[in-house]
Amino acid sequence: MDAAEIRQFLEGSGLRCTPQRFAVMAFLTEHNRHATAAEIFEAVNRVDPRSSRATTYNNLRDLVQAGLVREVAVEGRGARFEAIGVPHHHFVCDHCGNVEDLEWYDVPKPAGGSLGKRVVRECELIFRGLCSNCAQRSASG
């Protein structure tokens, strides 16, 4: 995604394309690695213009509300964010904590009736275990 597209995305969602907001969105589209707010704050502050911590949090909140960014549900201390792109599932490594993308495939919904009156908007599938690196290391260790 290039700069013009990011600008269009933001303005199409009713958000001004400020340099700070653009920087957050650009970082998330360039680096698909489920970054924490702290990592994003640090990354956007390595380039001008700088962004305060509050603004980084504010912009992440705005981008999530606008549906351009998703907060990934993982246990642990800091929330993690990713730009919404193609649908996919997640793999979380027990050992190193890395969150990796898995190719999307359809997941069966719960059997009729067991949902009751609930209204489903989306589903998220998370696998846990050892990532490639950690699996190899523990096999050879």
Partner DNA sequence: GAAGTTTTTAGACTATATCTAATCTGAGAT
Partner DNA sequence: ATCTCAGATTAGATATAGTCTAAAAACTTC
Query: Which residues are at the interface with DNA (CB under 7 A)?
Result: 15-21, 36-38, 49-55, 57-59, 61-62, 77-79
Q: Which does 101 bind (CB under 5 to 8 A by kind): Mn ion, a copy of itself, Zn ion, none?
A: Mn ion
Phi, psi at residue 99, to the nearest 5°?
A: -110, 120
Candidates 35, 68, 82, 83; binder of Mn ion (CB under 5 A) is 82
Angle 57-17-4 from CA coordinates, rounded to 5° = 125
Q: Which does 37 bind (CB under 5 to 8 A by kind): Mn ion, DNA, Zn ion, none?
A: DNA
Indicate the residue among 7 and 128 with the shorter CB distance to a copy of itself.
128
Is residue 131 a contact residue for a copy of itself (CB under 8 A)? yes
Is residue 86 a contact residue for a copy of itself (CB under 8 A)? no
Please tell me whether the peptide bond between 49 and the residue prior to it is cis, using omega within 30 degrees of 0.
yes
Angstrom distance (rounded) from CA 18 to CA 31: 20
126, 92 Cβ separation under 8 angstroms: yes
Q: Which does 27 bind (CB under 5 to 8 A by kind): a copy of itself, Zn ion, Mn ion, none?
A: none
Is residue 71 a contact residue for Mn ion (CB under 5 A)? no
Sign (positive or negative) of CA dihedral 59, 65, 69, 70: positive
Helix (H) or strand (E) holding 82: strand 80-83
The residues that touch a copy of itself, with contacts defined as CB under 8 A, are 71-75, 79, 89, 91-92, 94, 100, 102-103, 105, 107-108, 110-111, 114-132, 135-136
